[in-house]
Amino acid sequence: MTEPPLDVNECLGLSPEQLPRHIAIIMDGNGRWAKNQGLPRVAGHERGATTVRNIVTHCARLGIDTLTLFSFSTENWKRPEDEVEFLMGLYARYLIAERETIMNNNVRFLHVGRREGLPDNVLDEMDETVSVSADNTGLRLCLALNYGSRDEIVDAVRSIARDVRTGTLDPDQIDESMVSGSLYTAGLPDPDLLIRTANERRISNFLLWQLSYAEIYVCSVLWPEFSEQDLNGAIQDFARRERRFGNVESPTT
């Protein structure tokens, strides 16, 4: 069942114009949550998937344009084999189970990251979700899966270099816009707000180019316990920030 839109002023005490257009989240603390509960790490990932559903739905109801979730980095392949295998299975199950929620909430699903290395069943379910939601016009949900920002930049440079080599591009034509358009996130706005849970204070190779002017919000809540109210608090904190983008005064002043 489709959840009705939320009144932003009633819910947050803000106007729609004060909302971040693009929220990026580094979802930390699944393993710590499980340990605190005396459970195996995989239980934390399962609980974290429930949090994803709640936060995606809440963002869709608030009218957020884009939400990017850092789910599995290229470095995460170094984790224990059984944990990685569980996570890949979880992604496939999640994509199937949440397809109805995605469609009911008019969410457009996108993948951010490298396809190479992902299991076929994950790619199949991911492609199906991308396809069936392609005409949706609400929240754009970007799952950063098998993602590393340095890899992304390298891939972008390689793409541009190929055009230079074939003579279709003059090096002097290369600018910020061209680089942005060669990234996995081409066509999406840069994040306005980066949220990192579990009191971690690193960027961790996530959206290095795109986060240049993002406001960073760190909270101590572990991801499995991160609630809609916690997201509301991050958005309200964002709305109180003065964003100058290198200027003396805010562009809205």
Residues forming the active site: 28, 76
CB 188 within 8 A of CB 140: yes
Cβ–Cβ under 8 Å, residues 33 and 225: yes
Closest CA to 125 of 104, 94, 147, 152: 94
Q: Could you tell me which residues come within 8 angstroms of residue 174 by beta carbon, excluding any fewer than 6 positions away? A: 160
If one counts every other C-beta atom within 10 angstroms of the C-beta of residue 100, the result is: 10
Residue pair 156/124 in contact (Cβ under 8 Å)? The answer is no
* Cα diameter, the chain: 60
* Cα dihedral 47, 52, 57, 59 sign: positive
In whole angstroms, give the CA distance from residue 144 to residue 91.
12
| Residue 125 CB contacts under 8 Å (≥ 6 apart), including other chains | 91, 92, 95, 96
The two three-digit tokens of residue 184, written as one number? 């996995």
- Distance, CA of 229 to CA of 235 (rounded, Å): 10
